Structure 1
Amino acid sequence: MFVAIPPREKSPLPWAMPAVFVALWGCFVLASLLPDSSQRHLLVEWGALSGDLRSLPALWGSVLNGHLARLVTALFLHADWAHLLGNLLFLLIFGAPAERAMGPWRFLALFLVGGAVANLAAVLAIETPDRLIIGASGAVSALIGAYLALFPSARLGLVLPLGLFLQFVRMPAAVLIGVWAALQVVYTFVGPASGAVAWSAHLAGFAFGGAFAVVSRRAIKRRMKRGRGF
């Protein structure tokens, strides 16, 4: 007797994380081709500014003027190559497994909304008015928080320099992310240049990502059981 076995559903190719990667890279390259005066104008017009939302009238004015959109557009602006490459590195490490688990649309929602929430935290936390807030660090922090919530027992591979040799080691992701999170807390209070880096955005993004993953965990598990996860 023959039994028809339905073909196993193939996992779709990930596209959201590569799209975000290309968008971050492309925006920086295009901005770097502009004259210096145009670059500064671009940052001021599309970056988030501290002090914009500190009062109810300011918040309402930002809604009317469309300034709230800056919390998202600021994610695609970076100060220099080091700023960009650091975010792209962590996006590759944590973004790929996060998208495979939660799917492209949920991944995009986490990146954009988590990044906006992180930038909002920086806007409210930075005391100096009109401090420019740019970069995808808060959004990447949201991915890191979601990764820890989804895969608390995962292990990450690291290449450590030991004298003249390089040694590949595997360490629990929770330990590495825990060290990263502890550094964000320290830098929030004793950080360099009195808040030149928006460490509060990193912490807010991390917390939002963890909460997002916890709330979505049941839907993500159903998705992975259908063969669309790992």
Structure 2
Amino acid sequence: MSDERNHQQNQASDGRQPAILLPGVVTALLGLMLAVHLARAFVLNEQGDLQLIYWLAFIPARGIAGAGFDGGWIPLLWTPFTHAFLHAGWEHLLINCAWLAIFGTPVARRYGPRATVILFLASAAVGAAAFAATTLPSVQVLIGASGGVAGLTGAACRFMFQPVIVGRDLETGTEQVLGRRMASIAELMRNQRAAFFIVVWLVLNAAVPFLPMLIGQSIGIAWQAHLGGFLAGLFLTPLFERRPAASEEESK
């Protein structure tokens, strides 16, 4: 929790609010996704855009022997990650950007830029694996940051519903905000707000494949990537957790 605490203490000590409220790593991820989409929309011609998608989108069928793709299975080394920076349109991009800003910010402030990037990319890769497991052997294409963003959402769930912890300096007696404690999975399920958010999120995404039976048309939502990414973030986040500095702690 030290990064989160230092962030809060630095703002309090100088009395200033930053011009950009988003952490640098979140701003960088947003900027990269926006730059890629701008290049596709205004720089690349149709053929160039198709080539970009061909080499950077995640296509699980590449792994099937004799699938007939240029490059064979080799792009599967990077496309489980690079697909997260391609989007189907402006609406797709903006929704993912908004979700990244909302849930990526608390994760970045708590764990720092390196852990945030690792969680984002690892969740995107797990989401891609879930997509592959449910679409093979058909040829389908996965693009979008949804898996990575879902992973940051799962990561934030581990602490954002917990009470704020304050510590008292052993020498001065001054109260210090230490952030929020990470909850175990069992504690999350006992917390009504956390359990409600997690269950609703999982049920809504799991229900997506059944929507065509109700509305009569297919929906281009990679629900598998959402579920896989979310669970990856939920379970991988403890790897980045650090013990708070020694102090007398109490919950508020």
What is the TM-score when the length of structure 2 is the normalising length? 0.67
Match of 1:211 among 235, 239, 249: 235
Summarize the alignment of residues 20-59 of structure 1 with structure 2, pairs less than 5 Å apart. 20-33=29-42, 34-53=44-63
Q: Is the 8 A contact 1:52 1:123 kept in 2?
A: no
**Shift in CA distance, 66/50, structure 1 to aligned 2, threshold 3 Å:** closer
Match of 2:244 among 219, 222, 227: 222
Q: Look up the equivalent residue of 2:134 and give its one-letter code.
A: A
Tell me whether 1:103 sits opposite 2:128 in the alignment.
Answer: no
**Shift in CA distance, 145/42, structure 1 to aligned 2, threshold 3 Å:** same
What corresponds to 1:175 in structure 2? 196
Q: Is the 8 A contact 1:17 1:95 kept in 2?
A: yes
**Which sections of structure 2, spanning at least 5 residues, go unmatched?**
1-7, 12-17, 66-71, 164-191, 248-252
Q: Look up the equivalent residue of 1:105 and give its one-letter code.
A: R
**Shift in CA distance, 175/185, structure 1 to aligned 2, threshold 3 Å:** same
Tell me whether 1:78 sits opposite 2:78 in the alignment.
Answer: no
Q: CA–CA distance in 1 between the matches of 2:195 and 2:35?
A: 32
What is the TM-score when the length of structure 1 is the normalising length? 0.73
TM-align CA RMSD: 3.1
Q: Deviations over 1:23-54 (max 9, x none)?
A: 11111111111222221221112101032346
Identity of aligned residues (%): 30
Q: Is the 8 A contact 1:95 1:143 kept in 2?
A: yes
What SS does the aligned partner of 1:131 have? coil
What corresponds to 1:139 in structure 2? 148
What corresponds to 2:184 in structure 1? none
Q: CA–CA distance in 2 between the matches of 1:43 and 1:73?
A: 10
CA displacement at 1:174 relative to structure 2? 5.0
**Shift in CA distance, 30/207, structure 1 to aligned 2, threshold 3 Å:** same
Q: Is the 8 A contact 2:80 2:128 kept in 1?
A: yes
Q: Is the 8 A contact 1:53 1:124 kept in 2?
A: no
Q: Is the 8 A contact 1:126 1:195 kept in 2?
A: no
**Which sections of structure 1, spanning at least 5 residues, go unmatched?**
1-7, 56-60, 155-170, 226-230
Instruction: Judge which range, 43-52 or 131-140, deviates more.
Output: 43-52
Match of 2:25 among 13, 16, 40: 16
What corresponds to 1:190 in structure 2? 210
Q: CA–CA distance in 1 between the matches of 2:109 and 2:154?
A: 16
What SS does the aligned partner of 1:40 have? helix
